[in-house]
Amino acid sequence: MTEKEQTSLEAGPEQVLYANILRKGMFFGLVILFITFAIYIFGIMNPYIPLDKISDYWTMNVHDYLQHTNIKDGWGWVGMLGYGEFVNFIGIALLSGVTIICYIAIVPVLFKNDDKIFGILAVLEVIILTLAASGILAVGH
């Protein structure tokens, strides 16, 4: 096998960087999610909705659920981190946010390698995902 073939068989530097951040972010997010869920169900932190009342709400559509429970949508959960169920959102946000971090990390590598088109595409993806995460795009029933 030639040296060129050997090199191209391996993932590029931006791909390896992306994979490394993704792996760490995914593990970290999952561990946080499982720990916070244990805190929630074992009652270490008090829940906002009592555990025996949850089943009253998950049959409702999300609009009615928010209205009946007086929970704020968007990033409103950050202000409710003192409650058992809302600490779980830290792990959920980490899992949902790790891809944005991966993209941000590869942008400099792409531009450094003079891969301008992909650098711009990566920046565009960061904008799209950040817009989704921002909560600006609110819709509902």
Q: What is the CA radius of gyration of the chain?
A: 20
Q: Token digits for 75?
A: 């990033």
Q: Token digits for 11?
A: 């993932």
Q: How far is the CB of 57 from other proteins (least distance, A)?
A: 8
Would you mind telling me the total number of residues written for the chain in this entry?
Answer: 141
Find the Cα–Cα–Cα–Cα dihedral 34, 19, 130, 79, rounded to 10°: 20
Report if residue 65 touches other proteins, rule: CB under 8 A: yes
Report if residue 33 touches other proteins, rule: CB under 8 A: yes
Choice between 56 and 108, CB closer to other proteins: 56
- Which stretches of the chain bind other proteins, using CB under 8 A? 1, 5, 8-12, 14-16, 18-20, 22-23, 25-26, 29-30, 33-34, 37, 40, 51-62, 65-66, 71, 73-75, 85, 88-89, 92-93, 95-100, 106, 117-118, 121-122, 124-125, 128-129, 131-133, 135, 137-141
